[in-house]
Amino acid sequence: MGSIRIAFQAIPVIFFFLLQLPNHVAFNINNKPWLTPTQPEPTPTPWPEQFHALLYMNLTSTHLQLSDLWYDWPKGRNVNIFQKQLGILLYDIEWNNGTSFYYTLGPDAQCQMMDFGVGIPRPDFLDGAQYLGRVVTDGFLCDVWEKVEFIWYYEDVATKRPVRWDFYDGISSHVMTFEIGAVLPDSVVQAPTYCFTKPEDHNTFST
Ligand SMILES: *[C@@H]1O[C@H](CO)[C@@H](O)[C@H](O)[C@H]1NC(C)=O
Ligand SMILES: *[C@@H]1O[C@H](CO)[C@@H](O)[C@H](O)[C@H]1NC(C)=O
């Protein structure tokens, strides 16, 4: 039962919690010479209520993974299907009621259920983020915002699509595809029965 625990990242807990806070930390942006200030300051485009994105992720461990991200605000769920490099396919189904399921399929299938006590990010979770300026990243000219020194968010100036976001701990996600309105079929997000039959694997987190 070890591999899911190793694979599990506590990121969502802090993520969802912190992003609900206003950005009250003002700091000096003059020490970031790689950014070009822009006036008037743009505001981040809210996430579409439903989208599918393919993410290329570089983890702090120097490991890489792909993620199929299916964000669905009306259905109250945020799904990440992680393909770890030369490793497992890990399903991460997060519900707006605070419950998340992490599971694998197949012969050594495992499941871990968590209760984080906070829901998925709102489409406007970047509201109140601090604007930092403009920079070229991944070959795209982007506006950059930072929120509560937790996330750095890069949005394409031309198309307003997200290009990249970095977490404080160095994990960076690069957006490879961005399909607005795409919806994952409900059957894919139904947690397998073994998520409910092995109570010793369930953890409850409180924030
Ligand atoms: C992953 O990130 C690290 C740290 O920023 C960097 O040194 C490395 O080149 C990156 N690897 C890939 C494949 O992007
Ligand atoms: C949250 O919603 C999911 C999906 O409907 C459900 O499986 C889970 O039991 C719910 N959690 C709580 C604490 O109600």
| CA of residue 84 to ligand 1 center, whole Å | 15
**pLDDT tens per residue across span 98-116:** 999 999 999 889 999 999 8
User: Is the N-terminal amide bond of 40 cis, ω within 30° of 0?
Assistant: yes
Contacts of 45 (CB under 8 A, 6+ apart): 155, 160
Ligand 1 centroid–CA 18 distance in Å is 26
| CATH number for region 2-204 | 2.50.20.30
Q: Which of 72, 75, 97 to mutate to test the pocket of ligand 2 (most atoms within 8 A of CB)?
A: 97
Domain ranges, ordered by start, for the chain = 2-204
Q: Residue 39 and residue 131: Cα distance in Å, rounded?
A: 10
pLDDT in tens, 114-125: 998 889 999 999
CA of 58, closest atom in ligand 1: 1
Residue 93 alpha carbon to ligand 2 centre in Å: 11
Which has more confidence, 169 or 92? Answer: 92
* Residue 111 structure tokens: 């499941």
* DSSP category for residue 157: T
Average pLDDT, the chain: 85
The answer to whether the beta carbons of residues 104 and 195 sit under 8 Å apart is no
pTM listed for this prediction: 0.85
Which residues partner with 200 through β-bridges?
none
**In this predicted model, what pLDDT tens digit does every residue of 29-76 receive, in sequence order?**
445 656 888 888 999 999 999 999 999 999 987 799 999 999 999 999
Q: Where are the beta strands (DSSP E) in 23-170?
A: 50-58, 64-72, 77-84, 89-95, 99-103, 111-115, 130-137, 140-147, 151-156, 162-167
